[in-house]
């Protein structure tokens, strides 16, 4: 068992709607090892996205500790957290969230604008990332000129271009057909196996979860079952 | 860590590049602000033109002398003895004939119909002498000839001749006591006098049965001599008269109308500006809302709130500045040099002047536009930055 790259201890998340307090996450502990590809499953509303957002530093827990890459991130200011995310997390969303006015390569370059890399270095990283996702020939295309699967590949290239500690994917294949989904999942698997990327992926799809190394099931804000894929 | 500046530049460039896909709503800002700035600059250029016309009248080394306590030429009366005291005063320059270069003048109002109108309008009639071109070298006969002393003849200022019917050479004008003949037209470089008609002072005195002047205008030996000249006159026990440098006198003539137009200009600008501001706010709120997911995505990647706020404000500023420049350009094209005449509230006579769209007015217009753009972008940008990232992402 390698060292834990993500560890949560006693993490809860509540929302207050009027006087009503909604407990979205019950106190939970979680540990993800370096090099894991974790599939987070569970019914709708069980808190998967909420948990993923805490791991990715998009949101703060109501209580508990969140450690990622040896750093506590649950106490950081939003400014520090933004900076932290730019170094440590790559995000992949269900609807790709590419910027419509930018070409594929400009979209991929975005996280690098937050680094001190020169223009030439950025171009090199962008080319490599597009190469990895198999879209080197689509660099100049706008998102509207790409298929769903291609758009998601661009989004994955964007997520990995700055070489983050962690890839965080919320239903990355939720908007794709079976065949395209399998290609994307295959790509994520390759990133995990050959490039050693630690990936946390939320999915509804049991077939998608089979690509992961581990599965985790949630229900009503609690982790209920953890298993390793064989 | 790259500078925030780079973030601002890239996010702003992105926003601005997406304007073409939101042309309709972006135009609301541009057109709205162009309207505000155009109207404001046009109105202020009117005040500016009027002011410049009066300010261009007269020279610092000439003085206008009126009865003590008079506000203007019309209400001043100087009898011949008083006028003689002025002529004898120290520092009055000598003319070519060796006599003091100062002229006692009559200042009256007569009615002439404007071109294309039948209702009469006030025109200033100045009774002067043939030495007037020596006293006011900026004035020159450009058509016909000068009036003959003692005769009922008229030379018309060029602006007056253009604005009014019946001031062409050979026309008859009822100045006082019957018809007078127009014999010439003079140019005085667009100053107030060009809106006047000039006649012989003695002929006018006879026709109007008056024995006193309104004012004396005197050429001083130098501009610096004014104070001594003024002190000599005010300390003379024989007369109660006041002396003013010409530019000061004419500047004071434009104050009332200038204030009115300027207040009107700014009032309209404020009212229209509020309208345009709401248009801009609306547009920018919509722009931010349609891009809330994109903005949230950028923030998730690690872009700071500052760059997001600044980029939205910059976008609004760019649109507003475009509107300001457009409005200023339209005002310039349609109004600069546009000649009108208006009733000067202080002399109750018509003064012809041109709208003057000056660089400082254009600058004011652009500043005004930028202010609207700044506020129009500020609140939407703050909303964009305040929206929790996770909430914005959920809305996709
Ligand atoms: N900002 C919020 N305010 C109030 N309640 C919220 C908020 N965000 C999420 N919730 C609630 O938290 C619960 C968990 O939401 P979450 O999105 O994490 O579920 P999920 O497992 O990702 O569901 P899905 O599979 O549908 O994406 C839901 O009941 C949701 O309504
Ligand atoms: Mg979810």
Asked if B209 is an interface residue toward chain A (Cβ–Cβ < 8 A), one would say no
pLDDT given for residue B3 in this prediction: 66
Asked if B141 is an interface residue toward chain A (Cβ–Cβ < 8 A), one would say no
Q: How confident is the model at residue B196 (pLDDT cuts 50, 70, 90)?
A: very high
Decide if pLDDT at B1 tops 50: no
Task: Provide the shortest C-alpha distance from residue A59 to chain B (in Å).
Answer: 7
Task: Provide the shortest C-alpha distance from residue B393 to chain A (in Å).
Answer: 9
What is the percent of chain B with per-residue pLDDT over 90, rounded to a whole number? 54
Q: Which residues in chain A have their CB less than 8 angstroms from residue B10's CB?
A: 110, 113
Long-range contacts of range B115-123, CB-CB < 8 Å, 24 or more positions apart?
A: B115/B162, B115/B163, B115/B164, B115/B165, B116/B165, B117/B165, B121/B164, B121/B343, B121/B350, B122/B343, B122/B348, B122/B349, B122/B350, B123/B160, B123/B164, B123/B195, B123/B196, B123/B197, B123/B349, B123/B350
Is the separation of the CB atoms in B67 and B242 below 8 Å?
A: yes
**End of a domain among B239, B266, B297?**
B239
Question: How far is the centre of ligand 2, averaged over its atoms, from the C-alpha of A144 (Å)?
Answer: 25
Asked if B1 is an interface residue toward chain A (Cβ–Cβ < 8 A), one would say yes
Question: What whole-number distance in Å separates Cα of residue A51 and Cα of residue B350?
Answer: 80
Task: Provide the shortest C-alpha distance from residue B282 to chain A (in Å).
Answer: 22
Q: Which of B104, B235, B127, B117 is nearest to B176 (CA)?
A: B127
Residue A158 domain flag? yes
Average pLDDT of chain B to the nearest whole number: 89
What element of type H or E holds A5?
A: strand A4-17
SS (H, E, C) A135-179: CHHHCCCCHHHCCHHHHHHHHHHHHHCCCCCEEEEECCCCCCCHH
Residue B293: which of A85, A97, A110 has the nearest Cβ?
A97
Question: Do B264 and B366 fall within a single domain?
Answer: yes
- Contact check, Cβ <8 Å, A85/B298: no
Give tens-digit pLDDT for B80-96: 999 999 999 989 999 99
Hey, which residues does A41 pair with through a beta bridge?
Answer: A217
By the 10 Å C-beta count (0-12 exposed, 13-18 middle, 19+ buried), A60 is classed as middle
Give tens-digit pLDDT for B14-67: 778 778 877 888 888 899 899 989 998 998 898 888 888 888 888 999 999 999
Which atom of ligand 1 lies nearest, measured to the CA of A171?
27
Give tens-digit pLDDT for B369-383: 999 999 999 999 999
| Interface test with chain B among A99, A125, A168, by most B beta carbons within 10 Å | A99
Q: What is the ipTM of this complex?
A: 0.94
**End of a domain among B173, B208, B239?**
B239
pLDDT given for residue B283 in this prediction: 84
What element of type H or E holds B384?
A: helix B359-386
Report which DSSP code applies to B213.
Answer: B
Domain that holds residue A223: 34-60+77-228
pLDDT given for residue A1 in this prediction: 46
- Contact check, Cβ <8 Å, A114/B2: yes
Residue B63 domain flag? no
Q: Does pTM surpass 0.80?
A: no
Q: How many domains does chain B have?
A: 2
Q: How many domains does chain A have?
A: 1
Domain of residue A129, CATH code: 3.40.50.300
Asked if B302 is an interface residue toward chain A (Cβ–Cβ < 8 A), one would say yes
**End of a domain among B188, B207, B239?**
B239
Domain that holds residue B215: 70-239
pLDDT given for residue A2 in this prediction: 57
Asked if A138 is an interface residue toward chain B (Cβ–Cβ < 8 A), one would say no
Which atom of ligand 1 lies nearest, measured to the CA of A50?
18
Instruction: Give the mean pLDDT of B223-240.
Output: 92
Question: What whole-number distance in Å separates Cα of residue B55 and Cα of residue B172?
Answer: 32
Q: How confident is the model at residue B8 (pLDDT cuts 50, 70, 90)?
A: confident
Question: Do B170 and B288 fall within a single domain?
Answer: no
CA geometry: angle at B160 spanning B337 and B44, to 5°?
Answer: 35
């Amino acid at each position: 068992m390698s060292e834990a790259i993500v560890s949560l201890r006693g993490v809860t998340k509540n929302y207050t709607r009027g006087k009503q307090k909604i407990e979205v996450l019950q106190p939970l502990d979680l540990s993800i090892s370096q090099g894991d590809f974790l599939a987070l499953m569970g019914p709708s509303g069980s808190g998967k996205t909420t948990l993923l957002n805490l791991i990715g530093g998009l949101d703060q827990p109501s209580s508990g500790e969140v450690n990622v890459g040896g750093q506590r991130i649950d106490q950081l200011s939003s400014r520090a957290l933004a900076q932290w995310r730019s170094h440590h997390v790559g995000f992949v969303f269900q609807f790709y969230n590419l910027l419509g006015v930018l070409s594929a390569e400009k979209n991929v370059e975005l996280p690098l604008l937050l680094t001190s890399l020169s223009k030439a270095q950025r171009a090199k990283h962008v080319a490599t990332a597009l190469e990895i996702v198999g879209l080197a020939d689509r660099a100049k295309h706008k998102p509207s000129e790409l298929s769903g699967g291609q758009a998601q590949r661009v989004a994955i290239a964007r997520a990995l271009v700055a070489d983050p500690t962690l890839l965080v994917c919320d239903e990355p294949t939720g908007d794709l057909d079976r065949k395209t989904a399998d290609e994307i999942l295959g790509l994520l698997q390759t990133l995990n196996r050959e490039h050693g990327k630690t990936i946390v992926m939320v999915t509804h799809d049991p077939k998608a979860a089979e690509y992961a190394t581990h599965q985790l099931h949630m229900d009503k804000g609690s982790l209920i079952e953890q298993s390793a894929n064989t | 860590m790259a500078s925030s500046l780079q973030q601002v530049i890239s996010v702003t460039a992105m926003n601005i590049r997406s304007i073409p896909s939101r042309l309709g709503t972006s135009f609301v800002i541009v057109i709205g602000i162009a309207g505000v700035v155009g109207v404001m600059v046009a109105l202020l250029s009117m005040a500016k033109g009027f002011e410049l016309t009066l300010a261009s009248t007269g020279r610092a080394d000439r003085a206008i002398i009126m009865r003590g306590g008079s506000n203007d030429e019309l209400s001043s009366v100087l009898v011949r003895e008083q006028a003689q005291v002025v002529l004898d005063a120290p520092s009055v320059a000598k003319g070519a004939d060796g006599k003091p270069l100062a002229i006692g003048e009559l200042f009256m109002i007569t009615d002439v119909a404007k071109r294309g109108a039948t209702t009469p309008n006030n025109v200033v009639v100045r009774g002067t002498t043939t030495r007037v071109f020596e006293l006011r070298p900026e004035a020159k006969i450009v058509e016909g000839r000068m009036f003959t002393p003692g005769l009922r003849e008229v030379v018309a200022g060029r602006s007056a001749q253009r604005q009014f019917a019946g001031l062409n050479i050979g026309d008859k004008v009822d100045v006082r006591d019957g018809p007078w003949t127009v014999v010439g037209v003079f140019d005085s470089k667009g100053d107030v006098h060009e809106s006047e008609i000039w006649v012989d002072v003695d002929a006018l005195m006879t026709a109007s049965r008056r024995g006193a002047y309104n004012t004396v205008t005197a050429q001083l030996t130098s501009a610096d001599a004014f104070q001594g000249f003024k002190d000599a006159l005010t300390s003379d026990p024989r007369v109660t008269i006041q002396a003013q440098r010409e530019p000061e006198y004419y500047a004071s003539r434009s104050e009332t109308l200038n204030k009115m137009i300027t207040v009107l200009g700014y009032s309209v600008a404020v009212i229209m500006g509020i309208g345009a501001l709401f248009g801009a706010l609306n547009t920018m709120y919509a722009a931010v809302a349609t891009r809330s997911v994109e903005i949230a995505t950028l923030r998730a990647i690690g872009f700071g709130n500052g760059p997001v706020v600044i980029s939205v404000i910059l976008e609004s500023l760019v649109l507003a500045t475009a509107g300001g420049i457009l409005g200023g350009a339209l005002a310039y094209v349609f109004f600069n040099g546009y000649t009108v005449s208006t009733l000067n509230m202080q002399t109750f006579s018509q003064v012809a002047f041109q709208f003057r769209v000056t660089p400082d007015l254009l600058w004011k217009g652009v500043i005004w536009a930028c202010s609207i753009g700044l506020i129009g972008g500020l609140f939407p940008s703050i909303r964009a930055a305040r929206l929790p990232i996770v909430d914005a992402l959920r809305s996709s």
